[in-house]
Amino acid sequence: MNPLSREDLFSLEQYAERRSDFRAQVIEHKKHRRVDIGPNLSLYFEDRLTIQYQVQEMLRIERIFEAAAIEDELEAYNPLIPDGSNLKCTAMFEFTDVAERRRRLGELTGVENHVWLQVGGMDHVYAIANEDLDRSTDEKTSAVHFMRFELTPAMKSHLAAGEPLKFGVEHDLYRYEVMLNDETRNALLQDLAAD
């Protein structure tokens, strides 16, 4: 997928007029871009549209309209758009109870390095996590991680031919896996078709 440029964005005035419709479009688009692995981990897969929405919202909230500042936002967000050989997501550990969240994040150190995907019966592809900065310490993992899964051309071909797509986690204290339904699988397949 091509990165976003300033020309792809709405001005603040245009966005104010179109925000409600654009937001509804993005919400509908995101319905099949979430993968829940077990009871507490959700992967939210990004693409050009989801990132445009995040950029537009940031520009709106911060009232950013100067060219240099817009370029700074694009530079920060464009790396989250898949490039045709990978899937990119925001991974979130979600716990309703604050004390439980603190305890579990302390137990799950390094979990971000044990998240995988699998195409059909092929080898697992482990997430490359947090390339921008380290989000874990020896004492705890973060509730939010940014992940990239790199697929080989053979994996892409097998997916395009209809092979199933599975995600999982192999941490000692968090072991779950899930087979994607057709809607989610097909939505993510679009990210790989955009070389």
Q: What is the CATH number of the domain that holds 129?
A: 2.60.40
Q: Is the pLDDT of residue 26 over 80?
A: yes
Mean pLDDT of the chain: 92
Same-domain pairing of 158 and 124: yes
The domain of 73 spans 1-31+48-80
Kindly indicate the confidence band of residue 17, based on its pLDDT and cuts at 50, 70 and 90. very high
User: Burial of 35 by CB count in 10 Å (0-12 exposed, 13-18 middle, 19+ buried)?
Assistant: buried
Same-domain pairing of 75 and 100: no
Same-domain pairing of 146 and 74: no
Same-domain pairing of 100 and 170: yes
The predicted-structure confidence for 43-70, as pLDDT tens digits, reads as follows 999 999 999 999 999 999 999 899 999 9
Same-domain pairing of 113 and 154: yes
Same-domain pairing of 64 and 95: no
Kindly indicate the confidence band of residue 108, based on its pLDDT and cuts at 50, 70 and 90. very high
The predicted-structure confidence for 121-136, as pLDDT tens digits, reads as follows 999 999 999 876 666 6
pLDDT for residue 182? 94
Across 93-111, average pLDDT: 93
Percentage of the chain exceeding pLDDT 70: 95
Residue located via tokens 């137990």? 107
Stated pTM of the model = 0.89
Please give the sequence-ordered ranges of beta strands (E in DSSP) within the chain, or none if there are none: 34-37, 41-45, 86-93, 115-119, 125-126, 128-129, 144-150, 165-171, 174-179
The predicted-structure confidence for 136-175, as pLDDT tens digits, reads as follows 667 888 899 999 999 999 999 999 999 999 999 999 999 9
Domain count along the chain: 2
Same-domain pairing of 123 and 181: yes
What is the chain's alpha carbon radius of gyration, rounded to the nearest angstrom? 18
Same-domain pairing of 86 and 152: yes
pLDDT for residue 165? 97
Judged by DSSP in three states, 31 sits in: coil
